[in-house]
Every structure is written in structure tokens, then in C-alpha cells.
Amino acid sequence: MSNQFILSEKANQLLVAGVDEVGRGPLAGPVVTAAVILDPDHPIEGLMDSKKLSEKRREELSVLIKENSLAWSIGRAEVEEIDKINILQATMLAMQRAVSGLSPSPKHALIDGNRCPDLICSAEAIIKGDGLVPAISAASIIAKVSRDNEMVELDALYPGYGLAGHKGYPTKAHRDALIELGVTPIHRRSFGPVRKALENQTT
């Protein structure tokens, strides 16, 4: 890890939250974010980018993160909000909600990506931070586990789309199901493939 990401002794005394999102690309479901303040007295081994972990390992780490962190919080923006304000702004909103839900409140936040939402504390964006900063890795893990589990539940409510498998992402099977079965209330109408399916329904 480069010196850029090694917190100084003074910064280590602050409450620093890692923040990440899951679900910007899918055609269905909410965008989910998480914020985590790790406890230096209870380190968690194996934290890394959630996408590089098996589902089983993510589930295991999610439990450890929730049990051993100083604070954790999930934030989200719903499909209606995504369609109204666009996915980027909805992601920023969800991050604000996640950070606001932390108790104790952080003094600083490290955000995965290249931009920061307006927060109650200072913040800095770190590109590929989910692979560089343990607190961001922890946030990426609990956000992904939360969203993936929700998509499995939605699959039972809206069968035929394959949501439990692709988690709402625009796979060919998902796009084909949209054309064949139509658009559901959990689909993002501002996204191109969903708009196309809606147009087909009205023609």
C-alpha cells in the first residue's frame, strides 16, 4: 500500500469511515451503499474488493464486519429516485444516507471512486479504493451482500427475469426477459434497455 493511503498517527485518532456502492449498473433494484468505521483493536483479516471474493466468503466477512466494526450503516436510493435524479446523483444520495446513519459519526470519509458526495464530515475520493483501503473494502462487502440478498428476494416476487443469478445486471437473458415478460415496478425506466422494452409494450 502506498504512503498516500497510510493514515498518519493523528488521522488514526479520528473516526474514519470507508464508503462504497453496489448496483450502479443494473437495470433493476436499488443502488445500495455502505459506510464502515473499522475498529483498530479488532482487525479483520481478508478484507478486499468484494468482487474478488466468493459469495460464501463475502457472507462470512459481512458478519465479521458487522460484529467487529465501531460502526456500520447501509444507505440506499430506490428505483423511483434513480429515475428522477439519475444514477450518479442517486448514488451520492445513498452514500449521504449511509454516512448519516453511522453512530458515532465519522470525522472523515474515504469514498471509493473519483468524486465525493456532500457529507457531514470531510471526505476524499480514492480511485479503486475498495482494493486499497480496508474500510472501503469492508463497505463494499456489506453493501454487496445486502443488495445481492435483496435481489434474491425480489426474484421470488418477479420470477422469470433471473434476478437471483445476475442481480439485475443487463445480461442477455435479462434483456430478453424484459422484452418477453415486460417491465416490472423494480426496473429502472431511465435505463436504455428498459426504455426499449417499454416502447415494445406500447407498440
pLDDT value at 52 more than 60? yes
In which band, very low, low, confident or very high, does the pLDDT at 199 lie, cut at 50, 70 and 90?
confident
In which band, very low, low, confident or very high, does the pLDDT at 158 lie, cut at 50, 70 and 90?
very high
User: What is the pLDDT at residue 3?
Assistant: 41
User: What is the pLDDT at residue 201?
Assistant: 73
Compute the average pLDDT of residues 143-160.
Answer: 98
In which band, very low, low, confident or very high, does the pLDDT at 11 lie, cut at 50, 70 and 90?
very low
Q: Is the overall model pTM greater than 0.85, yes or no?
A: yes
pLDDT value at 49 more than 50? yes
Burial of 48 (0-12, 13-18, 19+ CB in 10 A): middle
C-alpha grid cell for residue 78? 430506490
What is the rounded CA–CA span in Å between residue 80 and residue 85?
Answer: 9
The domains of the chain, with CATH numbers, are: 3-156 (3.30.420.10)
Q: What is the torsional sign of CA 142, 148, 151, 152?
A: negative
Helices (H), 26-133: 55-68, 79-85, 87-100
Three-state secondary-structure class, residue 35: strand
The CA distances from residue 175 to 4, 28, 147, 191, 192, in Å, are: 42, 11, 20, 11, 10
pLDDT in tens, 83-139: 999 999 999 999 999 999 999 999 999 999 999 999 999 999 999 999 999 999 999
| Structural contact between residues 43 and 69, judged by C-beta atoms closer than 8 angstroms | no
